């Protein structure tokens, strides 16, 4: 049954048109992702659905009495409101029924006769509704959602106004989930969640008895929960019935079909225009009225023809590539016996980690486990060695780094040893610039010997075009700040990248560009991320932080998950049979496993990487050839078949490469 429908919605901000034709349908029970570039209007569309924003033309139809839940902004609460109070406010209508029941109980203790019968009848009705609405399962529901999102008992008693921004968002997300509206509008719901909480949310949404509309850049998350994609592009909405992977494949197929139709029409138009010129030439020479009539008829056909727009095979997007750099030694980083505490709280105890040349390693673990702590200890050690080039790009010239509070990470037990010829750059998840009153152009050129024209050309590759370069840094969005920092980073001579949540604030297209650039980077990478797609694509090893130690898994995210499941099943089996070995207990107490000494390299892997490069080059050549105007249908069909065959082979080669 239809829940929401939009038809031809148009929306303007001043003279800027955001939507020109937004038309789609939402059926009850569907899980739908709204995707598109940052700034395309996804959040605006959610606000239109809730009535928080208006629109100029078109129509919006919402089923009567449909309850919509949407996290727009974190509300303000009184100073004495605790987390548990906010969560309980999700059941305010149930609490009102409970209060009414208590009042009726008091009344029934003193009433007699007909008045007592009326009160008892009313009590029965309220009690029934109280039970139907889940009045007897409130605590169970709160516990389920709170456990899933990682709230502990101590967290319940914290004052809401004292929480961080991310913690407040998580609490309000929990409140909305507990309210169980008919339609859930979730705008970037996985932000501020660790991987365990994200996986719980996936299961929650799959089982949810209602409709769910999602805006997210988390590709793993989308693939696991949605059954429809609505893409917002160039002010219009296109619908795809399937998960995110299907959307990507189907969009490419549609683009290629549209390109064939466009080129076929262009060929037809050219033939008709040539015919018009010939008829005109013949008619002029022979003064033949019949020939002129044919010319006019042909011209009318051309005028009446509905012209197809040339499809865009690739929209404007960020272009990122790191330059060549000096090679590091084989051992880039080794941490031994690392122990760290803040006051009375122990974060790490004798943790070990080793990173080799060309490794790309992800650090995983729950929120607050110490991932950023160990990163900042590495940065502090690097800075102490006075070889830090800076993440702020004044780097090469000033040697400054704008990471606040590094002094707190200088003191630790154990050793952090950096290898030879290390040139490190750091991308923080909370990007900070020394002077945010500067414009984008001023910030980029600060301490760089680069002419303005050259600087603007570089910035344009990162989607800072025309007047964008004159924006103040403090007016940039999170995604724009990330792009500016990345633009600065590639100007440095670096061979060791340390990244803290690098995909935060980036749309999917920009994430793909970042991934490709990092895959081509001829150096070593250490990163923290909750983006499982990014982790799986980038990591050749995983460092898991748990119980104050670090455990190494020699593989990508899928391998890590597989090994975790195997270990979990093994422990459950041994526990059930009562045969948990003493050696396993000793390993747990010891707190870590040995990290592999060297990364395994083989001739086969090198051959596969060469083959991947060759296939990708062939694919690019075919794309260029297909973009040529005037190609015939048969030729384009052959090119499409060849491209598909290459895509299939690439998938197989990628799979083999990923399993090595």
Percent of the chain with pLDDT over 70: 86
Neighbours of 623 (CB within 10 A): 14
Span 453-511, pLDDT tens digits? 988 988 888 888 888 899 999 988 888 888 888 888 888 888 999 999 999 888 888 88
pLDDT of residue 404: 61
Backbone angles phi and psi of 57, in degrees to 5: -135, 165
**pTM of structure:** 0.73
pLDDT of residue 403: 62
Q: Is the pLDDT of residue 592 over 50?
A: no
Q: Are 622 and 313 in contact (CB under 8 A)?
A: no
Token pair, residue 85, equals: 């109070």
Helices (H), 2-137: 42-50, 83-88, 92-108, 113-132
Neighbours of 32 (CB within 10 A): 20
Q: Is the pLDDT of residue 396 over 80?
A: no
Q: Is the pLDDT of residue 419 over 50?
A: yes
Which residue in this structure is represented by tokens 């169970």? 140
Q: Are 450 and 443 in contact (CB under 8 A)?
A: no
Rounded average pLDDT over 291-298: 84
Which is higher by pLDDT, 221 or 620?
A: 221
pLDDT of residue 401: 47
Helix or strand (DSSP H, E) at 279: helix 244-286
Rounded average pLDDT over 8-33: 95
pLDDT of residue 233: 92
Strand order in the sheet with 2-13: 57-62, 2-13, 16-27, 236-240, 228-233, 31-35, 211-215, 183-187, 68-70
Q: Is the pLDDT of residue 395 over 60?
A: no
pLDDT of residue 650: 67
Least-confidence region, from 233-237, 300-304, 337-341: 300-304
Rounded average pLDDT over 512-533: 91
Rounded average pLDDT over 93-97: 91
Backbone angles phi and psi of 515, in degrees to 5: -60, -45
Q: Are 45 and 72 in contact (CB under 8 A)?
A: no
Span 147-204, pLDDT tens digits? 999 998 899 999 999 988 888 999 999 999 999 999 999 999 998 888 999 999 999 9
Greatest Cα-to-Cα distance within the chain, rounded to the nearest angstrom: 114
Burial of residue 258, with CB atoms counted within 10 A of its CB: 0-12 exposed, 13-18 middle, 19 or more buried: middle
Query: CA 626 to CA 637: how far, in whole Å?
Result: 10
Q: Are 4 and 49 in contact (CB under 8 A)?
A: yes
Q: Are 483 and 510 in contact (CB under 8 A)?
A: yes
Span 334-357, pLDDT tens digits? 999 999 998 888 899 999 999 999
Span 429-460, pLDDT tens digits? 888 888 889 999 998 888 677 889 988 988 88
Q: Is the pLDDT of residue 407 over 90?
A: no
pLDDT of residue 400: 41
Q: Is the pLDDT of residue 120 over 90?
A: no
DSSP annotation of 65: T
pLDDT of residue 84: 93
- Reply yes or no on domain 1-67+181-242 having CATH 3.40.50.300: yes
**In this structure, which long-range contacts are made by residues 646-652, counting pairs with CB atoms below 8 Å and at least 24 apart in sequence?**
646/615, 646/618, 646/619, 646/622, 647/619, 649/615, 650/612, 650/615, 650/616, 650/619
Q: How would residue 289 be classed by pLDDT, with cut points 50, 70 and 90?
A: confident
Q: How would residue 398 be classed by pLDDT, with cut points 50, 70 and 90?
A: very low
Neighbours of 363 (CB within 10 A): 23
pLDDT of residue 660: 60
Q: Strands 360-364 and 541-546: what pairing?
A: parallel
Query: Angle between the 633-658 and 603-626 helix axes, to the nearest 10 degrees?
Result: 160
Q: Is the pLDDT of residue 598 over 70?
A: no
Q: Is the pLDDT of residue 590 over 60?
A: no
The class (CATH top level) of 331-599 is alpha beta
pLDDT of residue 182: 95
Q: Is the pLDDT of residue 519 over 60?
A: yes
Q: Are 454 and 487 in contact (CB under 8 A)?
A: no
Q: Is the dihedral of CA 182, 187, 193, 197 positive or negative?
A: positive
Which is higher by pLDDT, 8 or 136?
A: 8
Rounded average pLDDT over 513-541: 92
Span 603-635, pLDDT tens digits? 677 778 788 878 878 877 777 776 664 555 566
Least-confidence region, from 137-151, 237-251, 427-441, 532-546: 427-441
Residue 391: name the closest of 439, 431, 427, 442 by CA: 427
Q: What is the mean pLDDT of the chain?
A: 84
pLDDT of residue 222: 96
pLDDT of residue 159: 93
């Amino acid at each position: 049954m239809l829940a929401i429908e939009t038809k031809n919605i148009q929306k303007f901000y001043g003279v800027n048109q955001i939507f020109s034709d937004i038309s789609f349908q939402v059926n009850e029970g569907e899980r739908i992702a709204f995707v598109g570039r940052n700034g395309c209007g996804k959040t605006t569309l959610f606000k239109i659905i809730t009535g928080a924003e208006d629109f100029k033309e078109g129509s919006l139809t919402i089923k009567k009495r449909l309850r919509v839940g949407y996290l727009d902004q974190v509300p303000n609460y009184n100073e004495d409101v605790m987390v548990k109070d906010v969560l309980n406010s999700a059941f305010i209508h149930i609490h009102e029924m409970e209060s009414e029941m208590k009042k009726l109980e008091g009344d029934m203790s003193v009433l007699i006769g007909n008045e007592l019968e009326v009160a008892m009848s009313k009590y029965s009705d309220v009690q029934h509704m109280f039970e139907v609405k889940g009045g007897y399962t409130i605590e169970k529901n709160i516990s389920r959602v709170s456990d899933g999102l990682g709230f502990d008992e101590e967290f319940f008693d914290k004052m809401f106004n004292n929480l961080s921004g991310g913690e407040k968002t998580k609490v309000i997300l929990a409140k909305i989930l507990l309210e169980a509206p008919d339609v859930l509008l979730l705008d970037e719901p996985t932000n501020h969640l660790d991987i365990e909480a994200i996986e719980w949310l996936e299961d929650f949404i799959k089982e949810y008895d209602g409709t769910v509309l999602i805006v997210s850049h988390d590709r793993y998350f989308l693939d696991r929960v949605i059954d429809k994609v609505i893409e917002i592009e160039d002010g219009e909405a296109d619908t795809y019935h399937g998960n995110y992977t299907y959307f990507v494949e189907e969009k490419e197929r549609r683009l290629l079909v549209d390109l064939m139709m466009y080129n076929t029409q262009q060929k037809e138009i050219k033939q008709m225009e040539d015919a018009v010129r010939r008829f005109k030439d013949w008619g002029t020479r022979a003064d033949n009225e019949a020939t002129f009539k044919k010319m006019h008829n042909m011209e009318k056909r051309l005028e009446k023809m509905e012209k197809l727009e040339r499809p865009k095979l690739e929209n404007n997007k960020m272009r990122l590539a790191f330059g060549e750099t000096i090679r590091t030694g084989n051992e880039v980083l080794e941490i031994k016996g690392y122990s760290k505490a803040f006051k009375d709280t122990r974060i790490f105890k004798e943790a070990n980690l080793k990173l080799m040349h060309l490794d790309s390693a992800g650090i995983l673990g729950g929120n607050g486990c110490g991932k950023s702590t160990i990163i900042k200890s590495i940065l502090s050690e690097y800075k102490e060695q006075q070889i830090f080039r800076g993440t702020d790009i004044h780097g090469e010239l000033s040697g400054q780094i704008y990471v606040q509070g590094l002094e707190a990470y200088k003191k630790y037990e154990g050793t952090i040893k950096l290898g030879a010829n290390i040139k490190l750059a750091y991308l923080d998840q909370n990007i900070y610039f020394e002077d945010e009153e500067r414009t984008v152009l001023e910030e980029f050129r600060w301490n760089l010997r680069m002419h303005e024209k050259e600087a603007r050309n570089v910035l344009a590759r990162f989607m800072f075009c025309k007047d964008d370069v004159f924006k103040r840094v403090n007016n940039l969005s999170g995604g724009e700040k990330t792009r500016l920092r990345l633009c600065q980073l590639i100007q440095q001579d670096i061979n060791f990248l340390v990244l803290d949540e690098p995909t935060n604030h980036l749309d999917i297209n920009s994430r793909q560009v970042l991934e490709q650039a990092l895959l081509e980077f001829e150096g070593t990478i250490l990163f923290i991320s909750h983006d499982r797609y990014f982790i799986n694509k980038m990591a050749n090893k995983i460092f898991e932080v748990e119980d104050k130690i670090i455990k190494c898994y020699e593989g990508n995210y899928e391998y890590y998950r597989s090994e975790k499941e195997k270990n979990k099943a093994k422990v459950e089996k041994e526990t059930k049979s009562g045969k948990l070995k003493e050696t396993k207990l000793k390993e747990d107490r010891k707190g870590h496993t040995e990290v592999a000494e060297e990364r395994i390299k083989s001739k086969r892997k090198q051959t596969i990487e060469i083959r991947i490069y060759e296939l990708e080059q062939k694919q690019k050549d075919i794309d260029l050839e297909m973009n040529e105007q005037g190609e015939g249908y048969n030729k384009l069909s052959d090119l499409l078949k060849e491209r598909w065959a290459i895509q299939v082979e690439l998938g197989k080669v990628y799979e083999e490469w990923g399993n090595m």
